Chains A and B, each alone.
Chain A
Amino acid sequence: MPIDSRPRFADMDAAYRAIIEAHRGLSHEQSAALNAALVLILANQIGDHAVLAEALALAKATIAPPARQGAD
């Protein structure tokens, strides 16, 4: 069961908005805690190591590579 790349919500805008609104008014620390709890809940909901691994890889690919390390 690979990651489904197609839109899955009938109203994608509403789903995105629900996530954003959950963070409104939170400090950076609170937002980080919320995200972590959300990731754990959703990961358990998926309940599949292969899908989780693929989702992690997909997410990781969106992160800019770290800046070249200086000579320290």
Chain B
Amino acid sequence: MSAAAPFAQFAYLRSPDQSASQPVLHPVAIVGAGPVGLSLAIDLAQRGLKPVLLDDSDRIGDGSRAICFAKRTLEIFDRLGVAKPMLEKGVSWQVGKVFQAGECLYQFDLLPEPGHKMPAFINLQQFHVEKFLIDRAQALGIDLRWKNRVVAVDNNRDGARLSIETPDGRYELEADHVVACDGARSPMRTMLGLSFAGEIFDDQFLIADVRMQAAFPVERWFWFDPPFHSGQSCLLHKQPDDIWRIDLQLSPDADAEHERQPAVVRPRIERMLGHADFELEWVSIYRFQCRRLQTFRHGSVIFAGDAAHQVSPFGARGANSGVQDADNLGWKLALVMSGASPDLLLTSYDSERSEAADENILNSTRATDFIAPRSAMERVFRNAALALARTQPFARRFVNSGRLSLPTPYTGSVLSTPDVDSWSAGLVPGAPIPDAPLESGQLSERLNGGFLLLAGCAVPAGLVPAGVAHVAPGADDILLRERFDLTDNAAYLIRPDGHVAARFRQADQQRLDAALNRARGVFDADR
């Protein structure tokens, strides 16, 4: 089934760089045109920069990869100008149900509060996401080079030289910054000889995309020990175009080659559905892994997405965290390349996204261990938690079928100004901001690449630092004031990636300027 036609194909075009007598220098080269590399390239292009985006292929692959895109990622995609077609094409959902032995134990709602522009999740095949991103990249005139395979890296602190293989032979280019977004098997990681340490889980999982007409509600359904797949687990997600994603847990000793045969897969799915009226679109078998690079910065090469960290799919933390890597990196690269910020700002990418990677790996490991217990006694506890969950609300919080992706607060970030005032609610420095409705539009729409000052109604507009956007709630913006605990003289300084840099009960020029400098990685010399 892997021989399916590509979803979209693109033309290799010879770049003038290939005819240059000397390697041409670019400010930033991005390796890998998946969701992460494309998001970063679009972000940089929207800032007026000219990234070069290299991809070893010339097509968008078919087949089952990421499908769940979280609210935060959709807010980022909105800033990148691609959310609208994704929302139109994707399947929005927010309710999950957990079953055991055919009975619904409980359900959860991932977005129980109003006032958000984006849904909790959409399900959309990765190839659609990539196509929308490529359309946007092309509209922005991004230098996207298909069939450009990086085969060697000469990596130095102040830049890197890449050797690139193309249908016209090999050429070299130089870049001040290289961002490796080349996926879980990252050739860039291999070329730099970096170890990718972590855990590989024994159990195998069958991932099947099935085409059928079905009347299941648009919800995430997870079964522990279902009657149709005894002793194992199953996950069902709806995708667009009558495609359904089914994850079936297999035993550690299952023969992957055998299990992926349609003659073996079909009866498993027939047992689940109770009928044979479906087509198999895609089948693959995985052993899940939770691994990461020890640091995401090596010389002038920065790693992002699966190239930097890999998680099991329970919780939708792969592509989502990768796009959030890009969101963290874009504005920082732009400030450093313009000379406005020191290199330290890029170091904060490593520390902040390390915190996110660790959180994602922790959650993904816990979920995988709950779904596939490692010992007989772990299974006894797992089943006890499930049995209690039928009647006891507390036990539902022990049950773990995947903790779904939320943006990570950067709790220890050097860019944050610690609170000095007294706050009973709202968002602590480093926290990702929630969306909220404004008199016109949404808060999430006001983040347009730069910093933002969210200021109470008594804060004079003259206090807003130069180059910083200003949002003041109107009289009716109650949700906004509640979510931020925003009193009349208070102000939040919000980073371009929508994390809180600082907040003050009584905003003043000096503290605001200091916080803004700090968030840009500019510290006083005596600090």
Q: How far is the CB of B21 from chain A (nearest CB, A)?
A: 63
Tell me, yes or no, whether B140 is within 8 Å of chain A by CB: no
One digit per residue, 1 when the CB lies within 8 angstroms of any chain A CB and 0 when it does not, for chain B 356-376 equals 000000000000000000000
**Chain B, Cβ-Cβ closest to A32:** B380
Q: How far is the CB of B376 from chain A (nearest CB, A)?
A: 8
Q: Among the interface residues B377, B381, B398, which one has the most CB atoms of the partner chain A within 10 A?
A: B381
* Chain B neighbourhood of A41, CB < 8 A: 388, 392
A33 to B394, Cβ gap below 8 A?
no
* Chain A neighbourhood of B388, CB < 8 A: 37, 40-41
A40 to B385, Cβ gap below 8 A?
yes
Tell me, yes or no, whether A26 is within 8 Å of chain B by CB: no
Tell me, yes or no, whether A53 is within 8 Å of chain B by CB: no
One digit per residue, 1 when the CB lies within 8 angstroms of any chain B CB and 0 when it does not, for chain A 30-61 equals 00110011011100100000000000000000
* Chain A neighbourhood of B380, CB < 8 A: 29, 32-33, 36
* Chain A neighbourhood of B383, CB < 8 A: 33, 36
A36 to B394, Cβ gap below 8 A?
no
Q: How far is the CB of A16 from chain B (nearest CB, A)?
A: 21
Q: How far is the CB of B488 from chain A (nearest CB, A)?
A: 38
* Chain A neighbourhood of B385, CB < 8 A: 40
**Considering only CB atoms and an 8 Å cut-off, how many residues of chain A contact the other chain?**
9
**Chain A, Cβ-Cβ closest to B378:** A36
B377 to A40, Cβ gap below 8 A?
no
B387 to A44, Cβ gap below 8 A?
no
Place the interface of chain B in its size category: 10 to 19
Complex: A32 Cα to B383 Cα, angstroms: 11
Tell me, yes or no, whether B461 is within 8 Å of chain A by CB: no
Complex: A57 Cα to B384 Cα, angstroms: 22
Complex: A18 Cα to B246 Cα, angstroms: 45
* Chain B neighbourhood of A29, CB < 8 A: 380
Complex: A39 Cα to B384 Cα, angstroms: 9
* Chain A neighbourhood of B394, CB < 8 A: 44
* Chain B neighbourhood of A39, CB < 8 A: 381, 384
One digit per residue, 1 when the CB lies within 8 angstroms of any chain A CB and 0 when it does not, for chain B 373-414 equals 000010011011101100010110010000000000000000
Q: How far is the CB of B213 from chain A (nearest CB, A)?
A: 41
Complex: A29 Cα to B377 Cα, angstroms: 10
Q: How far is the CB of B389 from chain A (nearest CB, A)?
A: 10
Q: How far is the CB of B404 from chain A (nearest CB, A)?
A: 23
**Chain B, Cβ-Cβ closest to A37:** B384
Complex: A70 Cα to B359 Cα, angstroms: 38
**Chain A, Cβ-Cβ closest to B376:** A32
**Chain B, Cβ-Cβ closest to A38:** B384
A33 to B377, Cβ gap below 8 A?
no
* Chain B neighbourhood of A40, CB < 8 A: 381, 384-385, 388, 395, 398
Complex: A32 Cα to B382 Cα, angstroms: 12
**Chain A, Cβ-Cβ closest to B394:** A44
* Chain B neighbourhood of A36, CB < 8 A: 377, 380-381, 383-384
Complex: A33 Cα to B394 Cα, angstroms: 18
Complex: A29 Cα to B383 Cα, angstroms: 12
Q: How far is the CB of B31 from chain A (nearest CB, A)?
A: 43
Complex: A68 Cα to B398 Cα, angstroms: 35
Complex: A65 Cα to B509 Cα, angstroms: 63
A37 to B377, Cβ gap below 8 A?
no
**Chain A, Cβ-Cβ closest to B387:** A37
Q: How far is the CB of B391 from chain A (nearest CB, A)?
A: 11
Complex: A33 Cα to B379 Cα, angstroms: 10
* Chain B neighbourhood of A33, CB < 8 A: 380, 383-384, 387
Q: How far is the CB of A38 from chain B (nearest CB, A)?
A: 8
Q: Which 4 A-B pairs have the closest CB atoms?
A: A36-B384, A37-B384, A36-B381, A44-B394
12 A-B pairs whose Cβ atoms sit less than 8 Å apart in the complex: A29-B380, A32-B377, A33-B383, A33-B387, A36-B381, A36-B384, A37-B387, A39-B381, A40-B385, A40-B388, A40-B398, A41-B388
Q: A39-B381, A40-B395, A41-B392 are in contact. List 14 more A-B contacts (CB 8 A).
A: A29-B380, A32-B377, A33-B384, A33-B387, A36-B377, A36-B380, A36-B381, A36-B384, A37-B384, A37-B387, A40-B385, A40-B388, A44-B394, A44-B395
